[in-house]
Structure 1
Amino acid sequence: MSKTGFIYDESYFWHDTGNGALHLPPGGWVQSYVHSENPETKRRFKNLLERSGLLSQLQLISPRVASRDEVELFHSPSYIDKVKELSETTGGDAGEFAIVGPGSYEIALLATGGAITAVDAVMERQVKNVYALTRPPGHHAEAEKGKGFCLFNHIAIAAKYAKQKYNLERILILDWDVHHGNGTEEAFYDDSSTLFISMHQEYNYPKKSGIAEHSGRGEGKGYNVNIPLPAGTGNAGYMHAFKKIVEPIVDQFKPELILISAGQDPSLYDPLGRMMVTAKGFYRFAEFMMELAERHCEGQLVVIHEGGYSAPYVPFCSLSIVEAMSGIKTAVEDPFISGLGVPSDKLFSNQEEAIQRVINHQSKFWESLNCRSEI
């Protein structure tokens, strides 16, 4: 029970997004290169985990394939059919920058199943917490449309599965990917039993998504918390948001299970973000969320890998997260930071102001719900 679980499968690395440059297909003035969402970021993380000796100290858990009924907990039958047809025929885009290659349907089902397996592992006390290294990512996928490299929304489906199977009344999903978790927001926008918090770079992706004023609808009003942060936010800015917004709201909500969409694209080396988080910062993120999990749900925490597109640096950021989750410090040091002089640990006034705007907007909802407000 004290061990940290780790879920991955070789087939996750076989999801084929084809050639491209960042997120565009080659053609015209765009010379063929490598698609941003390629296997290397995640394969290299698994390799570093093994090379460091940490992998052998984790409990390896094999994922299972999600059933059609489980995927339909969020996605429409027609959209699932579309992904399946593309996978079995020509391949193509399942929506917006959501590439389906040969066999991607089966791989995506196994990735969703990996998230579900992670939930079962912590809820049935096989392990205390789990890191699921799934691919393709999921948090942008909407009910009727793939988006932003994502085919099926693993974390949304896993949360709905957990609520259904284990009769949970309060689930927290926290998303620290640099891009807004629009698909997960859609899944729970009118749901007061699932608190969704997204910390992301403002004005990034998707367009017009993730603004602080989008706070939920109906019974879900106030249970959707967007924290758009200015470009250049580093460890200090994120931790300020964790302490000033995330902690007091989570303490009011008292979740029975915590799920994290862990995209390591807020790192200072990511080509699709403009943030300045270091590997040390991700360690602090995970450590902070573990403290909240210990406080509210006996440490039951599931971390599901999302984005992160710097193949050299993502492995070090992700390793730091697993070190924090397992309580095992390896001999690995961050080789990319020494002498760089980036002010990741400085809180700037524009970051404080952005966080205060979220506090000013969100606090009125929690007060109207007669919750104890400390923000």
Structure 2
Amino acid sequence: MTAGGPAGPPPAWFSHELCFWHDPGAGSGHLPVGPGVEPLRQFAVDPDLRRAEGLVRLSGVLDRFTRHTPAPAPDADLLLVHTRAHVDRVEATSARGGDAGVYAPAGHHSAAAARLAVGACTAAVREVLAGGHRRAYCLVRPPGHHAEPDRAMGLCLFNNLAVATRVAQRNGARRVLVVDLDVHHGNGLQRVFWEDPDVCYVSLHQDGLFPPASGTAAETGSGAGAGTTVNVPLPAGTGHGGYLAAMESVVVPAARAFAPDLVLVAAGLDAGAHDPMGRMMATSRTFHSVVTSLCELADELCAGRIVLAHEGGYSAWYQPTLLLAVAAAVAGLPAPDDPFLHSLENLPGQRVAAHQRRVLDHLRTHHPLLSAAAVAS
């Protein structure tokens, strides 16, 4: 990869104005206004994404992409993953306002935005598999990786990348690698693909954050899918060095062992050092390095076919810089300037620590996919 960008057609950029209209309502954190909870601007306010896209545009990086406006996902696509009752519940809750599941608030525009989020991801997958683009990025809300087949959870209404994976499988991608960078564990993605031998789900998340007791290293899939779930529960405080070590020790060898036809990335930004929803220390340099590595893996393993979709990210001031770093990596550009970087990159936590390496060493020697790859090499 060079500073001139990836070979072939320019990468695709999918976004829709209505995704920025999804409103999780007033509250504090995930909690709605109620006893002891004063009305407060939610962390997950999606106009912040409009600001983030504005920085990518202002920087000129968005000019490196071909822009697409997605259409809403039809029921036929949603029902590849979700139950009819779940789809109906999201629609009804959005119409009246309220919680569509577990910490999953929905308002007037939420169901339409959620269908557009899925539609962006499925359209991106179809474009990439058809050869129209090699890489694609979807700037969408609401997020998706917590949503399970029969319930919404953690701000996620429909599972954007789970549906996109099923669509990919119906469009010629026999084996799909899903890498989840969100600071929270993608319980919904894990549940959907728990017994699927043709989908490898790899999650780098903060250990024990959300959902509770979800995403332990011992969770590796079952039945025909045994060994195709790889959880990397990183200790709180993991920074740049820890994330790069996780890529080198776990993600890259797992991807090579699995040999996918397509790479999908749940590109959450809430592992960023300023994010109020996590306790990690990743910087824009971290995200640029990780996404660059994933794009290079796609180049090596599956003719460059990779689709990234936005998940979490709740720092109003740092999220735009992190998104710019991701977009630059997808476009094959150098890491952008980051006015916050100097205050973050010299902290001791940016270097990989012994207790973080122990997690990676355990996975490398005990996980079925990684230990088998080590023996084969």
Q: Structure 1 length normalisation: TM-score?
A: 0.95
Q: 1:226 to 1:84 in 2, by over 3 A?
A: same
2:129 corresponds to:
123
Task: Say if 2:304 is the partner of 1:308.
Answer: no
- 8 Å contact kept, 1:190–1:221: yes
2:3 corresponds to:
none
1:43 to 42, 50, 56: 50
Poorly superposed stretches of 4+, deviation over 6 Å: none
* Cα distance in 2, alignment partners of residues 307 and 149 from structure 1: 9
Q: 1:366 to 1:48 in 2, by over 3 A?
A: closer
- 8 Å contact kept, 1:230–1:351: yes
* Cα distance in 2, alignment partners of residues 345 and 17 from structure 1: 33
1:27-38 alignment, distance < 5 Å:
27-38=34-45
Letter in 1 for 2:18: S
CA deviation map 1:174-203 (0-9, x unaligned): 001000010000110000000000010001
2:59 to 52, 55, 58: 52
> SS at the partner of 1:338?
helix
* Cα distance in 2, alignment partners of residues 287 and 373 from structure 1: 28
* Cα distance in 2, alignment partners of residues 141 and 319 from structure 1: 26
CA deviation map 1:123-166 (0-9, x unaligned): 11212201100110000000111000000000000000110122
* Aligned-residue offset at 1:359: 2.2
* Aligned-residue offset at 1:329: 4.0
Query: Equivalent pairs: percent with the same residue?
Result: 37
1:336 corresponds to:
340
* Cα distance in 1, alignment partners of residues 178 and 30 from structure 2: 27
* Cα distance in 1, alignment partners of residues 120 and 154 from structure 2: 20
Q: 1:272 to 1:133 in 2, by over 3 A?
A: same
2:228 corresponds to:
223
* Cα distance in 2, alignment partners of residues 344 and 115 from structure 1: 34
Letter in 1 for 2:339: P
CA deviation map 1:68-119 (0-9, x unaligned): 010000000011111111122x211111111111131121111100000110
> SS at the partner of 1:130?
strand
Residues 152-161 or 39-48, more deviating: 39-48
2:139 to 133, 138, 146: 133
- 8 Å contact kept, 2:126–2:171: no
Letter in 1 for 2:222: R
- 8 Å contact kept, 1:212–1:227: yes
Task: Say if 2:269 is the partner of 1:264.
Answer: yes
> SS at the partner of 1:165?
coil
1:1-375 alignment, distance < 5 Å:
1-88=8-95, 90-166=96-172, 168-329=173-334, 332-340=336-344, 341-362=346-367, 364=368, 373=375
* Cα distance in 2, alignment partners of residues 32 and 374 from structure 1: 57
Alignment size in residue pairs: 369
Letter in 1 for 2:124: A
* Cα distance in 1, alignment partners of residues 50 and 313 from structure 2: 12
* Cα distance in 2, alignment partners of residues 141 and 12 from structure 1: 17
* Cα distance in 1, alignment partners of residues 299 and 47 from structure 2: 33
CA deviation map 1:257-280 (0-9, x unaligned): 000000000011010100000000
Q: 1:360 to 1:372 in 2, by over 3 A?
A: closer
Give unpaired runs (5+ residues) of structure 2. Answer: 1-7
Letter in 1 for 2:26: N
Residues 93-102 or 29-38, more deviating: 29-38
* Cα distance in 1, alignment partners of residues 69 and 293 from structure 2: 27
Letter in 2 for 1:334: D
* Cα distance in 1, alignment partners of residues 233 and 85 from structure 2: 33
- 8 Å contact kept, 1:278–1:344: no
- 8 Å contact kept, 1:277–1:344: no
* Aligned-residue offset at 1:42: 1.3
- 8 Å contact kept, 1:141–1:151: yes
* Cα distance in 2, alignment partners of residues 77 and 94 from structure 1: 14
* Aligned-residue offset at 1:333: 1.3
* Cα distance in 2, alignment partners of residues 100 and 373 from structure 1: 48
* Cα distance in 1, alignment partners of residues 354 and 334 from structure 2: 33
> SS at the partner of 2:202?
strand
Letter in 2 for 1:104: S
**Over aligned residue pairs, what C-alpha RMSD do you find?**
1.5
* Cα distance in 1, alignment partners of residues 321 and 126 from structure 2: 27
